[in-house]
Amino acid sequence: MNVLTKFDLSNNIALVTGGAGLLGVQHCEALLEAGSEIIILDIDMKALERCEKIFMSKYNKKVFTVCADITKEDEIQSAKEKIYEKFNAYPSILINNAAIDAKYETNNKINKTRLEDFDLAQWNIEISVGLSGAFLCSKHFGAEMAKMNKGVILNISSDLGIIAPSQFLYEDAELDSEKQTVKPVTYSVIKHGLIGLTRYISTYWAKNGVRCNAMAPGGAFNNHDKKFTDELSKLIPMGRMADVDEYKATIVYLCSNASSYMNGAVISIDGGRTAW
């Protein structure tokens, strides 16, 4: 067998949560280019409509979209029904990508990111999307994979699921120390938690032919502030942030038979940041 055929995802159905976001779209493109049917699940209906146009224009392919809130179990169950009605099958690939990512903003006037000021309600919202949502999707779609005796669950963690944030990256020289913006505690907890979820699932359903791995990407450049980009790049041996399309090949690898003996692994793709 030609080794390249192992990357072929034909006859697969892939579900990507948060698939209408910056990297979510890239994940969907990668899977589509490898031959998989794509289901984009997102809470943002306008973003989903935008994705439909993008994929039709770029690939002449109509993708199936589902608008749902993954923090609500009944909406996940409803999404399952819609997917089965469409494909007469359940996904064989699940990418838990949805998250609320606190963006670095230089003009942040009201600072609620610091640990001592972080609101419990915000904690609950972010955990419910990034961690509970991944649990619920894995629970419902992973159980169907186990019945089929095949499937892949890929959790999107982060380099900050392995190391702590370098908070000096967010410092503003004009602000007192107690007013400085920081990467919030929720981001680290969620991304570390996804690695724990990965290892749990990888052993739980292994006998049913379901593999579960995690990808820990570094930051992808998305018109970030130059000062922030320059400072972050100093922490990366390769000296730069990722381009948005640099994770696509790894997505295909982790979701395909090319990684058939990989289970419970965490793949760091961060330009070497976590090697230092």
At 103, is the pLDDT very low, low, confident or very high (cuts 50, 70, 90)? low
Cα dihedral across residues 16, 143, 257, 34: positive or negative: negative
* CA end-to-end distance (rounded Å), the chain: 39
163 vs 273: CA distance, rounded Å: 9
Bridge partners, residue 76, by sequence:
none
For the cut 90, the answer to whether the pLDDT of residue 210 exceeds it is yes
Q: Does residue 233 register a pLDDT over 90? A: yes
Q: Is the pLDDT of residue 184 over 80?
A: yes
How confident is the model at residue 178, as a pLDDT?
A: 81
pTM higher than 0.85 for the full model?
yes
What is the rounded CA–CA span in Å between residue 237 and residue 80?
Answer: 43
